[in-house]
Structure 1
Amino acid sequence: MTDDRLRVVLAEDSAVLRDGLTELLTVRGLAVAAAVATGEELLAAVAEHRPQVAVVDVRMPPTHTDEGVRAALRIRRSWPEVGVLVFSQHLETGWVTRLLADGAAGLGYLLKERVARTSEFVDALHRVAAGGTALDPEVVTHLMRARRRSAVDELTPREREVLALMAEGRSNRAIAERLSVTERAVEKHVAAVFTKFDLHASPADNRRVLAVLAYLAESAS
């Protein structure tokens, strides 16, 4: 019988959190192919199991500095079909920029303390596995601040709010509900963001993702 569950590999050095995530995801109907404690073990697990998505912490053994995110970069380059969701208490702007340098498809970055509901985490996993993106609004805000000059500076406060919600993968209708405005008003704000980022309609590109990432192009080059 074919197993249609979403296949996940977990990399988390805390045994308690690793076991907890494994149980949580299993209960939610996902298949945890492997749960490991180091970046090297993560790479080996991805090579063996070829999951649809890998969950990675930033700081892992042996030095607890950047082993996890370095492994995430290796996965992005060696197995581009595998989605990567960075799940960490640490926000490393420079590493986020490097992870996004080759595009946002199949990439997420969530901060542990800001995930309020299990459903949000599971939804983000499914979105990343499907080739989408899931960026915590706090991550987007820090990336915006890291740039001295960019098209982001031209956005109005409301357009910035819309952009942050777009980064969460929300539809225009969901954004309208969150901001208590009409869907038509959101469409106008989204169109304004596209214009200010000079993003034109193309069947090959997702302008919603590109709008979030356009300001990274200069620093990543």
Structure 2
Amino acid sequence: MRIVVADDAVLLREGLVRLLTDEGHQVVAAVGDGPSLVRAMLTHRPDISIVDVRMPPSHTDEGLRAAIGARAHLPGTPVVVLSQYVEVHYAAELLADGSGAIGYLLKDRVARVEEFLDTLDRVARGATVLDPQVVSQLLAGQRRSTPLEALTARERQLLSLMAEGHSNTAIARQLALSNSAVEKHVGNVFAKLGLPPDNTQHRRVLAVLAYLRS
């Protein structure tokens, strides 16, 4: 894949470049600030970009804003955002356009190389992948009186796995269910969240977004 890497920490940035290059990918740009990220994405139109949330000049959410800005010009371009801490509202903002191809991972996840590379591959193919710790925090802090209250325990379990980017086949394997059973549960989730079939938006992304906003 052709990849843009954006992180102001030189050691992490160069480490990512080395890792990706060793795995046969082409790093077309490695930058350290938000404006440079936008320019790199618009110039190179990479298969995927790996972006740190906090970068110069603001050192707050500059990387996130740059990624969202670039996706406004390149709708659906795949992005994996790295964060030092779990910040659920960042993930929600990334998913807000409903087009998918988004990953939100804690930086520690990079050390799990195979898992990290698998996430890049899935996001590049259009999946939405949230760090399991983000999903765990959502479950722990879930409020009541939301559409999610109507979901059964099994349906909430499936939704959490969907939020981690697992396909129906992978969910079936993990929960020891048949593919048809998973499809039925997923259909029930969509129905209870008020997400009828719609060719213009990705219901899986919208379901995860509802999960984030709950």
**Equivalent position to 1:125, from 90, 97, 120:** 120
Q: 1:13-52 to 2 correspondence within 5 Å?
A: 13-52=8-47
CA distance in 2 between partners of 1:116 and 1:184 (Å): 35
Give the counterpart letter for 2:195 in structure 1: L
The TM-score with structure 2 as length reference comes to 0.85
Q: 1:117-156 to 2 correspondence within 5 Å?
A: 117-142=112-137, 145=141, 149-156=145-152
What are the ranges of 5 or more consecutive residues in structure 1 without an aligned counterpart?
1-5
Q: 1:100-119 to 2 correspondence within 5 Å?
A: 100-114=95-109, 117-119=112-114
Q: What percent of counterpart residues are identical?
A: 53
**Equivalent residue, structure 2, for 1:196:** 192
More moved, 26-35 vs 79-88: 79-88
The TM-score with structure 1 as length reference comes to 0.83
What are the ranges of 5 or more consecutive residues in structure 2 without an aligned counterpart?
none
CA distance in 1 between partners of 2:146 and 2:92 (Å): 15
Secondary structure at 2:5 match in 1 = strand
CA distance in 2 between partners of 1:181 and 1:116 (Å): 31
More moved, 58-67 vs 13-22: 58-67
CA distance in 2 between partners of 1:147 and 1:73 (Å): 28
More moved, 10-19 vs 195-204: 195-204
1:79-117 deviations in Å (ceiling 9; x for gaps): 225221102222222232222221142221111224563
1:146-199 deviations in Å (ceiling 9; x for gaps): 766421122222211111111233222211221233434323321221221122
Is 1:73 the counterpart of 2:82 in the alignment? no
**Equivalent residue, structure 1, for 2:162:** 166
User: For the aligned residues, what is the CA RMSD?
Assistant: 2.5
Give the counterpart letter for 1:49 in structure 2: H
